[in-house]
Structure 1
Amino acid sequence: MKIEFKTFEKLSSKETWEIFKNRSEVFVVEQEWLACDIDENDLRATHMIIRNENEELVAYLRIFELDKSTVTLGRVLTPKEFRGLSLGKELLKNAIDWIKRQYPKHDIKISAQYRLVKFYENFGFNQCSEVYDDDGMDHIKMIIKKSYN
């Protein structure tokens, strides 16, 4: 497995297409999310990509600073054909480790799909909001406070 962290400016045209294609397939087609997936946060995000030995994108997320004390990660995905291989766990573990190194004084806050609360709790996230609707899907805010070691 190859893990890459790239700013938007460092992504090639093909990599950008590959990211947006996979996000569209997962969020728009599979999950029927009727919102614009591509937004201004893509421009300021660090994009984390895990590739297999065939150079295929097998897991992805994006990371960006929300404010001077908080970082977020989102658009977490594993393409359908690579699910069940624990790549989501590998993705989250490496992303959190990277954030802790790059932003040691920041909390990590996410807007998680409610059905994935237990998954995120396994990485140290705690619920910090009530469940809310985000374009027809239940979500909840979760956080890892900067007191992590």
Structure 2
Amino acid sequence: METTVTVTKTNDLSPKTLLEILAARTKVFVVEQNCPYQEVDAKDFDAWHVQLRQAGALVAYARIIPHDDGQSISFGRVLVVQSHRHEHLGRQLVTETLAAVRRLYPDQPIKIQAQNYLREFYGSFGFKPVSDVYLEDGIPHVDMVMQDQA
């Protein structure tokens, strides 16, 4: 099935699309991971939203935002909807997200907070761990950086 990719600022999303994205994020990060936290936050107001769609339906998503350090770019809220897992959409999503970051923020380092079990997955894109494993909302995470975007 053909997958379409869009990269859109929050203000340019239709209300329906925004609700679809927020529902998918809540389902994955709050319900599936049994992790009550403020999933929608102030960073959403000025975020870029990377969407993979098949037959018009959202199948994978990531959010691009400035990193808290003010010196780099970050992406997160990376998800593949449950019915489309094991189709390698995660790899396609991260590839598309990195391409968008390179286009929108050339020459800036990328810093992410990865769930620790995905350390090797992100490492395959060139990310290197720069922290010890720590708990974020009760889930083991590790900070990772990609210095060279080439």
After TM superposition, is the score higher than 0.5?
A: yes
Match of 1:37?
39
Is contact 1:69–1:105 with CA below 8 Å preserved after alignment?
A: no
Picking from 114, 117, 124, the partner of 2:116 is 114
TM normalised by structure 1 equals 0.95
Is contact 1:132–1:138 with CA below 8 Å preserved after alignment?
A: yes
Match of 1:57?
58
Is contact 1:59–1:91 with CA below 8 Å preserved after alignment?
A: yes
2: CA distance, partners of 1:36 / 1:99: 25
TM normalised by structure 2 equals 0.95
Gaps of 5+ in 2: none
Aligned residues: 147
Match of 1:125?
127
1:20-99 superposed matches below 5 A: 20-52=22-54, 54-66=55-67, 68-99=70-101
Match of 1:105?
107
Query: Shift of the alpha carbon at 1:98?
Result: 1.5
What letter corresponds to residue 36 of structure 2 in structure 1? L
What letter corresponds to residue 65 of structure 2 in structure 1? F
Picking from 4, 19, 22, the partner of 2:21 is 19
Query: Shift of the alpha carbon at 1:105?
Result: 1.9
Runs of 4+ in 1 over 3 A off after TM superposition: none
